[in-house]
Amino acid sequence: MADDPAVVRVELDRSSPVPLYHQLATAIEHAIETGSLPPGRRLENEIALAKRLRVSRPTARRALQELVDLGMLVRKRGVGTQVAPVRVRRKVDLSSLYDDLQRSGRHPTTSVLEYSVAPGTAEVIEALELPAEADVVTIRRIRLADGEPLALMTNHLALEVAPSYEELGESGLYHALRQRGVEIHMAHQQIGARIATASEARLLEEKPKVALLTMERTAYDAAGRAIEHGQHVYLASRYSFSTTLFAS
């Protein structure tokens, strides 16, 4: 029968510090990603799964739930558990433009237009949650993809966390921050559009008044501290944002 429940081959290491449910989730995830569990395939029910692997039902359940949260499995009461249809099965991650470009096979380069230290404007001070008049590092850069201008990026950071001009290097701000031990955990961003100013058009080597995508972002670390605030513009003809949304 084609609708025999799939049996995943799993080896659990009970002496490992990584939780059993996570080991199991990872194993099933791997089976889905390698295609040995194709979309639509029915899994054995959680009781059988638990029994076979000699774990408790809650443990098996939790593994399955983990994959449902990732969008890789679909469960229906009274019916069973199925591998979700193809689509995206990864959480929307906080990717940097640099990594994005690299992943899509383009060759990103960056040059720094400005690196300065000065008291922050009211807007920046508020976004970074700093005391009034505090000094702020401002970085302006232009990013090119395969040699063609793509975006103008302006970032503001508190002095304590800002990478030096040298550390900034080629590979992007978030990469430099990570090397300083600062991990971005969450960000707010607002995406809009407007017409380019004369100087923006000149820098981007475009005719005046081209359409720009604008993005304003404030990024926070795991403890909730504001790390970075940036205002960026992208050439709309060469870049767009892709996102995946889930209903609550």
Partner DNA sequence: CGCATCCTTATGTCCTAACATATGAGCCTG
Partner DNA sequence: CAGGCTCATATGTTAGGACATAAGGATGCG
Number of residues that bind DNA (CB under 7 A): 24
**Is residue 197 a contact residue for a copy of itself (CB under 8 A)?**
no
d(CA 165, CA 182): 17
Residue 17 interacting partner from DNA, a copy of itself, none (CB closer than 5 to 8 Å by kind): DNA
Q: How far apart are CA 56 and CA 62, in angstroms?
A: 10
User: Smallest Cα–Cα separation from 102: which of 168, 174, 29?
Assistant: 174
Identify the CA nearest to 72 among candidates 45, 34, 100, 103.
34
160 binds a copy of itself (CB under 8 A): no
Question: In the bound complex, what is the minimum distance in angstroms from residue 127's beta carbon to a copy of itself?
Answer: 12
Between CA 242 and CA 113 the distance in angstroms is 28
- Cβ distance 163 to 175 under 8 Å? no
Please state, in angstroms and as integers, the Cα–Cα distance from residue 181 to each residue in 138, 142, 161, 172, following that order.
Answer: 20, 25, 9, 15
Distance in angstroms (rounded) separating the CA atoms of residues 139 and 168: 10
Establish if 208 lies at the interface with a copy of itself (CB under 8 A): no
Closer residue to a copy of itself (CB): 54 or 87:
87
**With binding defined as CB under 7 A, does residue 20 bind DNA?**
yes
List residues bridging with 142 in a β-sheet: 111, 152
H-run or E-run covering 102: helix 97-103
By CB under 8 A, residue 183 contacts a copy of itself? yes
Q: Is 189 in the site for a copy of itself (CB under 8 A)?
A: yes
Residues numbered 123-142 forming contacts with a copy of itself, rule: CB under 8 A: none
Name residue 152's beta-bridge partners: 142, 233
How many angstroms separate the CA atoms of 132 and 70, rounded? 42
Q: Is 169 among the residues that bind a copy of itself (CB under 8 A)?
A: no
Out of 165, 195, 205, 208, point to the residue binding a copy of itself (CB under 8 A).
195
**Could you give the C-alpha distances from 20 to 31, 67, 72, 73, in angstroms and in order?**
17, 14, 19, 19
Q: Which is nearer to a copy of itself, 1 or 245 (CB)?
A: 245
With CB under 5 to 8 Å by kind, the binding choice for 241 among DNA, a copy of itself, none is: a copy of itself
Residue 47 binds DNA (CB under 7 A): yes
Question: Which partner, DNA, a copy of itself, none, binds residue 7 by CB below 5 to 8 Å per kind?
Answer: none
# of chain residues touching a copy of itself (CB under 8 A): 48
Q: Is 80 in the site for a copy of itself (CB under 8 A)?
A: no
Residues at the interface with a copy of itself (CB under 8 A)? 39, 71, 74, 84-88, 90-94, 183-195, 209, 211-214, 220, 222-225, 236-237, 239-248
